[in-house]
Amino acid sequence: MSSDHAGPKPPASTTPRTGGAPAPSHAERCRTLAAQVRSGTLGTIARDPEGYPYGSLVAVAIDGLGRPLLLLSRLAEHTQNLEARADASILLSEPADRHAQRLALGRVTLLGPCRVVPEAERAEARAVFLATQPEASSYVDFGDFAFYRLEPIALRYVGGFGRMSWVGAEDYAAAQPDPLADAAAGILEHMNDDHADAVLAYARALAGIAEASAATMTAVDRYGFELAAITPAGPKAARIGFDAPVTTSNDVRKAMVALVARARSAGG
């Protein structure tokens, strides 16, 4: 599928300059986002009025292949829609507090058939769902509830302004969530609050934004991090890669120390 976007391109300052820095693939970004959500918007095809898109809020869990699991009541309108036609989608989005601009939030729409989980796989689906949605234990075994699973055949990823593409289902299934996803917010807070001088040094010496007067780290993952710098010409964004992929907060600390030493030796 084409990754072209029909709308106008965003200002260059909103898209990080990578400079060849390693970065997660869009399939990896989708898996990371999906692994962190607990709810989404389920899209089904309405029976009445016939053919119209019908959106509803649902609790979600993600299995080991990245497939959304839903615990749905047979009495719900969306469930009756699925029984008539399995074609569906589910929109998963980063929490609203991740960014001041709602349209800068990462989100992914997974499209594919959504059907009842086979009986032989129900126990596994139940364990996965309750691990994410423990409050569902009070009704999980009610007779009118059943587990449904959406099998992605295509995904549309939007990672904010200027970052979007169609992602293949096979690439998505083969990707792994980022190991730093749960720690990322704490890492960013620590770097921006306690090491603002280091972040500015990264921007000036490693990202080549010598005119930067201030900088903020905006994202971090196993391959590196992104930052936004303030300059006389306006905001600029950049990405800086680690020397090797990392998996823990301690690995990030060591990588950041090495990079700040390099930045300061370069005059940052």
For residue 95, give Cα distances in angstroms to 44, 107, 157: 23, 10, 16
If one compares 186 and 99, the residue with the highest pLDDT of the two is 186
- Residues 6+ away with beta carbon under 8 Å from 55: 41, 42, 43
- Closest by CA to 148, choosing from 218, 197, 80, is 80
Number of other CB atoms surrounding residue 241 within 10 Å: 18
How many helical (H) and strand (E) elements, i.e. helices and strands, does the chain have? 7, 12
Does 16 sit behind a cis peptide bond, omega within 30 degrees of 0 on the bond before it? no
Q: Report pLDDT digits (tens) over 35-94.
A: 999 999 999 999 999 999 999 999 999 999 999 999 999 999 999 999 999 999 999 998
Q: What's the pTM?
A: 0.87
pLDDT, tens digit, 9 for 90 and up, residues 213-253: 999 999 999 999 999 999 999 999 999 999 999 999 999 99
In 3D space, the residue among 253, 240, 151, 246 whose CA is nearest the CA of residue 200 turns out to be 240
